Each structure stands twice: as C-alpha cells, then as structure tokens.
A = this chain, B = another copy of it.
Amino acid sequence: MPRVVVDVMPKPEILDPQGKAVLGALPRLGFSGVTDVRQGKRFELEVAHLDDAVLAEVEKMAETLLSNPVIENFTVRVEEQ
C-alpha cells in the first residue's frame, strides 16, 4: 500500500523547548559534536491509492489537522517502499 509521509517541524524562528532539552542532555550523557537539535513530528499515512487528488488531500490534512501553521512547517512526500 502506498505510504505518504508528513514531517512537521517547528519554524526556525520558534523556540523549540523539546529540542533544547535534548541538546542540553547530550553532553551530560557523554555525547559531543552536535550543535543544535530540533524536534518535530513524523506522520506515516497509508493510502489506498496514490494520485494528485490524494496528495492534495493529504496536503490539506497536514495544514488543518497535523500541523499548526502559525508555529510549524510541514512537508509532504511519497515514501518509496
């Protein structure tokens, strides 16, 4: 079954407390080399079939349900199986 992936990330200008918490924890756990972390969401949607209408609908879902467009950006892409 075709799979569409929607990635939702906080906009660059928006503070990301979850990402900052991860970034702060890394040195305490002995990790170095990472200079920034942003945390977002990933949705995997299984669709019955794939065409432009379905992709347009997923785009609409991402905008209205899966993300908050005020503070988040999203990308929609088809995942090859």
- A37 contact set on B, CB distance < 8 A: 43-46
Give Cα A45 to B34, complex, Å: 6
Number of chain copies forming the complex:
2
A31 / chain B contacts, CB cutoff of 8 Å: 57, 60-61, 65
User: How far, in whole Å, are A49 and B34 apart by their CA atoms in the complex?
Assistant: 9
Could you tell me if B45 and A36 are in contact, using CB atoms closer than 8 angstroms? yes
A42 and B39 in contact (CB under 8 A), knowing A33-B54, A64-B29?
Answer: yes
Which of the four size classes fits the interface of chain A?
35 or more
Closest residue on chain B to residue A49 by CB atoms: B33
Chain B positions within 8 Å of A49 at CB level: 33
A17 CB within 8 Å of chain B: no
